[in-house]
Amino acid sequence: MSTVATSPPPSPGRPDQQQLDTAADAVSHLAGSYQDVFTGLTVDVPDGRVIVYRKPGGGGFDAALAHLGLGVPVDLRDAPRSISELTATRNRVTALIGHTSDYSIASVGDGSEVSFTRGVVEVGVSGNLASAQADLRGRFGDRVTVSIAQPLYG
């Protein structure tokens, strides 16, 4: 983990939600030019920082991020895959919905801290979990994690 040098916050103390959201929006905008490096981000409101996940050493992203002058602390965390890689896997898994035999794909996601840190697409299934794990891991290897989908409560 490393911290990007940033300009000091406009006011003393921890950045507020608006400052963090503004910084996160700026990082997201920058990330559009670095889809093969950037993985994702989270806003850590209690600690007043933005956490950015990216493949290390990629194409000037870290330098470009440092030059944004966000005014909030930014922690860089290494990720094994970029958002473009996660999206490609997610799209391939999503294409299987309705085309499996003894299990059903109920959810497919790649926007969580687990997805970012482990470089996986999270797949929730109903039906035969062991069969789903064997099938999906056979197709996608370590790019997916498979678990029983949690029921939706309303």
- The closest of 50, 141, 27 to 93, measured between CA atoms, is 141
Confidence (pTM): 0.83
Confidence of residue 86 (pLDDT cuts 50, 70, 90): very high
User: Using one digit for the tens of pLDDT, what is the confidence trace for 121-139?
Assistant: 999 999 999 999 999 999 9
CB 120 within 8 A of CB 142: yes
Residue 31 vs residues 16, 48, 53, 63, 83: alpha-carbon distances, Å: 22, 21, 11, 12, 9
**pLDDT above 70 for 3:** no
Confidence of residue 9 (pLDDT cuts 50, 70, 90): very low
**pLDDT above 80 for 29:** yes
Mean pLDDT, residues 47-53:
95
Mean pLDDT of the chain: 89
User: Using one digit for the tens of pLDDT, what is the confidence trace for 95-109?
Assistant: 999 999 999 999 999
pLDDT for 152: 63
pLDDT for 153: 67
Residue 115 vs residues 8, 69, 145: alpha-carbon distances, Å: 30, 27, 9
Residue 81 vs residues 26, 121, 123: alpha-carbon distances, Å: 21, 10, 17
Spatial distance between the Cα atoms of 154 and 132, rounded to a whole number of angstroms: 27
Spatial distance between the Cα atoms of 69 and 91, rounded to a whole number of angstroms: 34
pLDDT for 6: 42
